[in-house]
Amino acid sequence: MSAAPVLPEKPKGKRPIGWIVAAAVVVVAIVVAVVVAAVRSGGDEGGAAAGDAAPETVTIGVADKSLSYWSTYTKLAKEKLNVTVELTNFADYSLPNPALKDGQVDLNQFQHIQYLADYNVTSDDDLQPIGSTAVYPLPLYSTKYDEPSDLPANAKVAIPNDSINQARALLILQAADLVTLKDGGSAFSTTADIETKKVDIQPLEASQTANALQQGSVAAAVVNNNFATAAGLPISDAIYQDDPSSASAAPYVNVFAARDEDKDDKTYLALAELFQDESVQKAFAKDLPEAVSRDESASELQAELAKVEQDAKAAKQ
């Protein structure tokens, strides 16, 4: 007679399958929460890779798009910030600020604080600086003469005709002993303030001063840096210039500017700060060796702007 079949012994401690599934779901949820928290923490620290940021496109109005440092800058913006930077070049200084105000560009980078202050006061606008680039000397160039004192009596000298660059140019000519200005001159002097002169002053659009010099219609010209570079004027042709490293140069720090409502935009602030990257600075110094780089906070720049705007309002009363 066969023995009765023996049933397998029930495993000790075995749990129902439902408990196992529930436990797995809880573990997965915890892991996901930890990963999300880590990513957010990395973003807050400003160390997230470009791939972690949503891609953006930002348009910047400039006056020197052809210079190679912009290639370095735009490449880094894509690699580090996942931002595609599109550059819009303006040949006329009067255009980038209205373009920024009207939303044709998101930022611009072509002007110093003094110019921005004058624009805001004149146009009743409130564009704000959010990052610094450099102070550029404003040279007096000549292709025929080596010193300001070599210029013949009543020689024609071209200067920019916009109010701020004109005032700075007049101060340079005064320092070079070519003119004297009423009350010693100021950042808002005009040709009407000339009291004595050894040369014939010819105000022209800033973009035309280099051309006038090269065509021989003037003996010397005060030429803004980017227009001198575009025209191929060598710095060796500069016969006089102001000092970009002096304390008095603070109003002439060039800046990235944004609309007031965008001055705290994190992407825009990051783009302004990107200019200080070592590789950008190296390319910038190669393109513009005479410039003196400046790294100042948005708050410092905005405080300087407010101060200069007060002076501009007083000068226009």
How much is the pLDDT for 11?
A: 39
pLDDT tens for each residue of 50-67? 556 789 999 999 999 999
Say yes or no to pLDDT of 42 above 50.
Answer: no
Nearest to 140 by CA among 117, 121, 168, 111: 168
198-227 in b/e burial notation, b at 16+ Cβ within 10 A? Answer: bbebbbbbbbbbbbbbbeeebbbbbbbbbb
Average pLDDT over residues 214-231: 93
Average pLDDT over residues 1-27: 41
Contacts of 64 (CB under 8 A, 6+ apart): 70, 89, 110, 226, 229, 230
What confidence category does residue 3 fall into, taking pLDDT thresholds of 50, 70 and 90? Answer: very low
Task: Work out whether strand 107-112 and strand 56-62 pair parallel, antiparallel, or are unpaired.
Answer: parallel
pLDDT tens for each residue of 234-283? 999 999 998 887 777 889 999 999 999 999 999 999 999 999 999 999 99
How much is the pLDDT for 27?
A: 42
Q: Distance between CA 43 and CA 277 in Å, rounded?
A: 19
Q: Would the pTM count as exceeding 0.85?
A: no
How much is the pLDDT for 314?
A: 87
Q: Distance between CA 204 and CA 307 in Å, rounded?
A: 28
Average pLDDT over residues 84-100: 96
Q: Which phi and psi (to 5°) does residue 47 adopt? A: -110, 10
Higher pLDDT, 42 or 5: 42
Dihedral sign for Cα 283, 286, 288, 292, please.
positive
Contacts of 49 (CB under 8 A, 6+ apart): none
3-class SS of residue 3: coil
Q: Output the CA–CA distances (angstroms, integers) from residue 294 to 24, 300, 301, 316, in the order listed.
A: 56, 12, 11, 29
* Residue-averaged pLDDT of the chain: 86
Average pLDDT over residues 77-88: 98
Contacts of 316 (CB under 8 A, 6+ apart): 121, 122, 188
